[in-house]
């Protein structure tokens, strides 16, 4: 019976008792009956309360399935290194897809929780990739670079498709860091003007793509615009990380802050319109 209806019935019985419409022993019996039902504690709305209620009401078959499933997970974890590499890749892929599906499902009810699950799934896939490369002896630079590039492209593609701008942005950041890594391996001490040529033209390319794509997707255009602004300062960040002579980068940083701020202020009506 509904909790509110029980309260109404209890109030009505108390009214009967005060008005002497029923004998006191009848009223006491009814009050004890309905008051006990009304005061029964509800299951907790928290996750632990829902889990406890689900465990209490689960059938024997459901308990057996949970035990078998948990045992299977433990078996896979304990013997994962002994599996064939293709089986390891298959298990990793299936786990990734299932967790991605679960994150997308709970995202409909709780946006933050769903994004957290999807983010951990993406990072877990990257971590498993690094682990498998190291386990099978493919831990060279090219293998790690391909893994990072593949993960970044996956993040970009899924971020656009699922409308996760943060994941989309993270994919571009990983690609930019990978590009910086490639440049550092190619030339340890390039002059300052070459470093600017490595990065600055890409700023205008991303700004143009942001303007071009904004007619179809404002979130994607906003991410591309942010990436373009980030690339504008990448030469100075690259110099701080990989170049010992830091006098020129510091001067250029302040100059580019002034130039970039002036451009953003002068063109604010245009770029705000296509990213807002």
Cα dihedral: 174, 178, 179, 184 (round 10): 140
User: Contact 243/189 with Cβ under 8 angstroms?
Assistant: yes
Evaluated on CA atoms 115, 119, 124, 126, the torsion sign reads: positive
41-45, 76-80, 135-139, 244-248, range with the lowest pLDDT: 41-45
Distance CA 252, CA 41 (A): 67
C-alpha 274/C-alpha 161 separation (Å) is 20
Spatial distance between the Cα atoms of 186 and 196, rounded to a whole number of angstroms: 16
**Burial environment of residue 92 by CB neighbours within 10 A (0 to 12, 13 to 18, 19 or more):** middle
Scanning 108-233, the segments in alpha helix (DSSP H) are 111-135, 141-161, 165-186, 192-213, 218-232
The yes-or-no verdict on residue 138 having pLDDT over 50 is yes
| Residue 246 confidence (pLDDT) above 70 | no
> 67: helix, coil or strand?
helix
Where residue 27 falls among pLDDT bands split at 50, 70, 90?
Answer: confident
* Percent of the chain surpassing pLDDT 90: 9
Crossing angle of the two packed helices 192-213 and 268-275, in degrees rounded to 10: 60
Give 101's contacts (C-beta < 8 A, 6+ positions apart).
Answer: none
Query: Cα(243)–Cα(249) distance, rounded to whole angstroms?
Result: 9
Q: Summarize the confidence of residues 155-176 as an average pLDDT.
A: 90
CB count within 10 Å of CB 195 equals: 22
Evaluate the CA torsion angle 225, 227, 228, 230 in order and state its sign. Answer: positive
Closest CA to 95 of 58, 65, 147, 132: 132
CA dist., res. 132 & res. 107, Å (int):
30
Model-level pTM greater than 0.95?
Answer: no
Statement: residue 33 has pLDDT above 50: yes
User: What confidence tier does 40 reach under pLDDT thresholds 50, 70, 90?
Assistant: very low
């Amino acid at each position: 019976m509904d909790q509110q209806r029980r309260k109404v019935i209890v109030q009505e019985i108390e009214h009967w008792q005060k008005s002497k419409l029923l004998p006191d022993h009848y009223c006491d019996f009814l009050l004890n009956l309905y008051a006990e039902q009304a005061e029964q504690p509800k299951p907790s709305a928290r996750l632990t309360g829902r889990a406890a209620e689900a465990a209490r009401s689960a059938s024997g078959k459901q308990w057996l399935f949970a035990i078998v499933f948990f045992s299977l997970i433990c078996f896979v974890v304990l013997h994962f290194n002994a599996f064939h590499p293709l089986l390891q890749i298959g298990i990793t892929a299936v786990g990734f897809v299932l967790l991605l599906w679960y994150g997308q499902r709970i995202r409909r009810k709780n946006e933050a929780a769903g994004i957290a699950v999807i983010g951990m799934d993406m990072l877990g896939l990257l971590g498993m990739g690094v682990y498998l490369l190291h386990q099978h002896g493919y831990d060279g630079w090219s293998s790690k670079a391909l893994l990072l590039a593949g993960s970044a492209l996956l993040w970009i593609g899924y971020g656009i498709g699922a409308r996760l701008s943060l994941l989309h942005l993270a994919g571009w950041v990983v690609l930019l860091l990978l590009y910086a890594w490639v440049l550092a391996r190619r030339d340890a001490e390039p002059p300052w003007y070459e470093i600017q040529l490595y990065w600055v033209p890409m700023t205008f390319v991303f700004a143009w793509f942001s303007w071009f794509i904004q007619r179809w997707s404002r979130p994607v255009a906003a991410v591309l615009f942010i990436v373009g602004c980030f690339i504008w300062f990448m030469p100075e960040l690259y110099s701080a990380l990989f170049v010992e002579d830091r006098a020129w980068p510091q001067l250029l940083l302040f100059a580019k802050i002034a130039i970039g701020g002036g451009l953003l202020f002068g063109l604010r009506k245009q770029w705000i319109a296509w990213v807002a």
